[in-house]
């Protein structure tokens, strides 16, 4: 869970360069928080396990998560530790760069997973990213796998991960850069299924930005087209995709159908500033762009 500190500027600076930006905006963010909000706004029953600081940013994140419909009863509050933050610059084309300060996210521990183990008895799916320690991520994935709960792993921010985590993963979600990092080199899309199968991954979604996604489900691969929108801010669009994908999988969609919905949700999110506040409800999705 991060507070997104965003400044808009006509173009992103080069190394060593200073540019002038807009007034500072403070919005709710953080990959898991975003993904939870995206799923909840679409109607999913979502519980979030996380840590925030006992500060104003923590207050903001909890208030906004509740507003989206997320159960935050298991979010801890830490004194003397800042809530995680993301420093974000967004240019006129909607592109961004982001620097994360983990703060309270870095205090997530394996015992937090075990303390809330009852969630795994009720869950239809566990959604994970890499903005907390990998020991925590692995513990949660293994807990879910032991109880028959599918694991959706968003391999972001990109980092090397142990084979045990991949073995516990039911669906892997990566972009092209994260796929290349996982494979050790750039991977042509027509070789992605074979590359991932070599690592034991048989079900995956590779996001392609405005071009949509490539879905790999066993021996079947299929491109899902993107939606045509005028992008305002792409911050959090990947998380909107992830949350929507998780929701639709729990609702019983196959991976391709779930990805089609997720592409539309991400497209709508790109048309508004910020992350969570740009995400559509189920009604807004129905009225949103089709392709």
| pLDDT digits 0-9 by tens, 65-97 | 999 999 999 999 999 999 999 998 989 888 888
Tell me the pairing of strands 2-8 and 126-128. Answer: unpaired
Active-site positions?
239
Which residues line the annotated binding site for ATP? 175, 207-212, 238-239
47: helix, coil or strand? Answer: strand
Closest residue by Cα to residue 171 from 240, 218, 138: 218
The 8 Å CB, 24+ separation contacts for 97-102 are 97/12, 98/235, 100/2, 100/131, 100/157, 102/131, 102/132
Residue 290's pLDDT is what?
A: 58
Q: Is residue 87 in a domain?
A: no
Number of structural domains the chain divides into: 1
In this structure, what DSSP letter does residue 221 have? E
Q: Is residue 249 in a domain?
A: yes
- Residue 15 phi, psi dihedral angles, 5° rounding: -55, 130
Alpha-carbon distance 244 to 96, whole Å?
A: 22
Residue 291's pLDDT is what?
A: 55
Q: Is residue 86 in a domain?
A: no
With a cut of 50, which residues of the chain have pLDDT below it? none
Q: Is residue 164 in a domain?
A: yes
Alpha-carbon distance 168 to 146, whole Å?
A: 9
Q: Is residue 119 in a domain?
A: yes
Alpha-carbon distance 209 to 276, whole Å?
A: 18
Residue 46's pLDDT is what?
A: 98
Residue 52's pLDDT is what?
A: 98
- Residue 107 phi, psi dihedral angles, 5° rounding: -95, 0
Which residues line the annotated binding site? 2-4, 30-34, 131, 175, 207-212, 233, 235, 238-239, 269, 272, 274, 278
At residue 278's C-alpha, the angle toward residues 276 and 280, to 5°, is: 95
CATH number of residue 147's parent domain: 3.40.1190.20
Summarised one tens digit per residue, pLDDT across range 41-72 is 999 999 999 999 999 999 999 999 999 999 99
Residue 231's pLDDT is what?
A: 82
- Residue 260's domain spans which residues? 31-80+106-287
Tell me the pairing of strands 25-29 and 2-8. Answer: antiparallel
């Amino acid at each position: 869970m991060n507070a997104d500190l965003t400044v808009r500027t006509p173009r992103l600076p080069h190394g060593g360069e200073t540019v002038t930006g807009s007034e500072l905006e403070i919005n709710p963010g953080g990959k898991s928080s975003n993904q939870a909000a995206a799923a909840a706004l679409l109607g999913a029953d979502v519980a979030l396990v996380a840590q925030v600081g006992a500060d104003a940013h923590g207050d903001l994140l909890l208030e906004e998560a509740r507003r989206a419909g997320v159960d935050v009863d298991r979010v801890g509050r830490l004194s003397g530790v800042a809530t995680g933050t993301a420093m974000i610059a967004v240019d006129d084309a909607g592109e961004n760069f982001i620097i994360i300060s983990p703060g309270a996210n870095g205090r997530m521990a394996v015992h937090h997973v075990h303390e809330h183990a009852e969630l795994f008895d009720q869950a239809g799916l566990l959604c994970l990213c890499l903005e907390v320690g990998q020991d925590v991520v692995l513990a949660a994935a293994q807990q879910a796998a032991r109880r028959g709960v599918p694991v959706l792993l968003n391999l972001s921010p990109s980092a090397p991960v142990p084979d045990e985590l991949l073995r516990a993963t039911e669906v892997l979600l990566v972009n092209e850069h994260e796929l290349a990092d996982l494979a050790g080199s750039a991977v042509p899309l027509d070789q992605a299924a074979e590359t991932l199968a070599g690592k034991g991954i048989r079900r995956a979604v590779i996001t392609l930005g405005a071009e949509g996604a490539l879905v790999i489900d066993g021996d079947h691969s299929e491109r899902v087209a993107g939606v045509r929108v005028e992008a305002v801010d792409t911050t959090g669009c990947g998380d909107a995709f992830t949350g929507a994908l998780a929701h639709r999988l729990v609702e019983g969609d196959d991976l391709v159908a779930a990805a089609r919905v997720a592409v539309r949700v991400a497209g709508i999110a790109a048309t508004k500033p910020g992350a969570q506040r740009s995400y559509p409800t189920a009604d807004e999705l129905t009225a949103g762009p089709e392709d």
